[in-house]
Each structure stands twice: as structure tokens, then as C-alpha cells.
Chains A and B, each alone.
Chain A
Amino acid sequence: ILNVEQSPQSLHVQEGDSTNFTCSFPSSNFYALHWYRWETAKSPEALFVMTLNGDEKKKGRISATLNTKEGYSYLYIKGSQPEDSATYLCAFTGNAGGTSYGKLTFGQGTILTVHP
């Protein structure tokens, strides 16, 4: 059974604060690590798909890093805004030949609330 863990489970920050959270995943048979943002009453929306060790990706105020050797990824939000409030999900997929190829195994998510 694959274990994808996210921490913290929930986070409350003030508008303007910068924040980060963690996703840990199996370091063997790695293929890709996905980050999604899921706002209430909407569909999950892809933020990043990361495949290479040391990858850093950025979209506006949100960025992510990837360490496949130790099995973790960080998501950073700079200058949080109330509209950033959402559940942030990471998901792992393994490489071809492994049992997890083509399948996303999701973490439980980090619920972020940004207070005005």
C-alpha cells in the first residue's frame, strides 16, 4: 500500500503571510508528483506536475519543489490572499512496470484558510 502523507492537516494564516506545506511519498519507483488545489464546491484544479529531482515550479505566488531521493515536495504560497483558501492535494504516481503506474495516489490534503 502506497503512503502519501501531507502535513499539516489544516492551516490558518493571516492575509499577507507566506506559508508552506509538505507532501511525502515513496522514494522508489517514482514517476511524477502532482499538486492540485480544490476549492469548496469546485473541481480539483491542477497546479503542477513535477517529474525531475530538484524541479522547482512556479505559478504566480505559488511555487513547489521536489526531492525524489528523499521523497518529499514542498508547496509555498507567498503573500497569502483569502482566495487562496482551499484544500491542497498532492498525488504520487509510480513508473512503468510498477503497480502504481498511471494511477494517482492522493494524500489527505492540507486545508488552508486565509483570514482577511
Chain B
Amino acid sequence: ETGVTQTPRHLVMGMTNKKSLKCEQHLGHNAMYWYKQSAKKPLELMFVYSLEERVENNSVPSRFSPECPNSSHLFLHLHTLQPEDSALYLCASSRTRGQSEQFFGPGTRLTVL
């Protein structure tokens, strides 16, 4: 138990669906992150939020839309995804952006049909 929870753990969606991934951290951290892991690729950073402000968008397509309503919650809204978006999506948080270690959630395994 890392103190970072993610729901759902598994999601299957069609290309025309809209769904959201949720992340919650109970650690009092100020920075939150979305990562994507595709098969046989390194973990890729998607978005960084620091003090609820998006500070990084790593050239992610607009069909992925993050939202950080407060420092404990982070969402990833998904719409009109492609089959190649099927991957493991991990959320993480850290005390500050940069040097401090990141605490990861268990991930959401997404399959786009």
C-alpha cells in the first residue's frame, strides 16, 4: 500500500466511448503525475501537476485530458481513443516536483477495442 490509489484497475472501452481514470493520494504531496506504459517501452511521462497547476504536458494527444481539482485528486479523461492507446496508466505523487521520490499507484490496465 503506497498511499496512492487508482480506479478502475481494469477498463475496456470502445473508440467512441468517454471514460475517466481516477487517482487519489493520501500522502499530503504537492505534485502528481500521469505515466503511460505500453508493451516493451519505458514508462513515459504524460502530465505533471504541481500545486494543482499543470506544469508539464509531454506532447500528449488532446484525446487525453487531465484534471486536478485539488492536491489529492487527479483525473485522466479519455475520449475517442485509438487501439494503440491500450496500455497501463500509472499515477504517482511526490512531496515536491523534481528531486523527491515518487509514490506510484497500482495502475489502470486500459484496453481500447
Q: Which A residues are closer than 8 A to B by beta carbons?
A: 4, 31-32, 34, 36, 42-46, 49, 51, 89, 91, 93, 96, 101-109
Contact = CB atoms under 8 A, between A and B. Distances in A.
Given A32-B99, A102-B50, A104-B102, 5 more contacts: A49-B99, A93-B99, A101-B97, A102-B97, A103-B45
16 contacts: A31-B98, A32-B98, A32-B99, A43-B2, A43-B103, A43-B104, A44-B43, A46-B101, A51-B99, A102-B97, A103-B48, A104-B43, A105-B42, A106-B42, A106-B43, A106-B44
Interface of B: 2, 4, 31, 33, 41-45, 48, 50, 55-56, 58, 90, 97-107
B103 A46 contact: yes
Given A43-B107, A45-B2, A102-B56, A89 B101 contact: no
A45 to B, nearest CB: 7
Contacts of B45: 103-105
8 closest A-B pairs by beta carbon, nearest first, are: A46-B101, A102-B97, A43-B104, A106-B43, A106-B42, A102-B98, A44-B104, A32-B99
Contacts of A93: 98-99
Most B CB atoms within 10 A — which of A46, A89, A93, A102?
A102
B97 A44 contact: no
A79 B90 CA distance: 31
A34 B97 contact: no
Most A CB atoms within 10 A — which of B41, B48, B104?
B104
B54 to A, nearest CB: 12
Contact of B31 (A31, A34, A102): A102
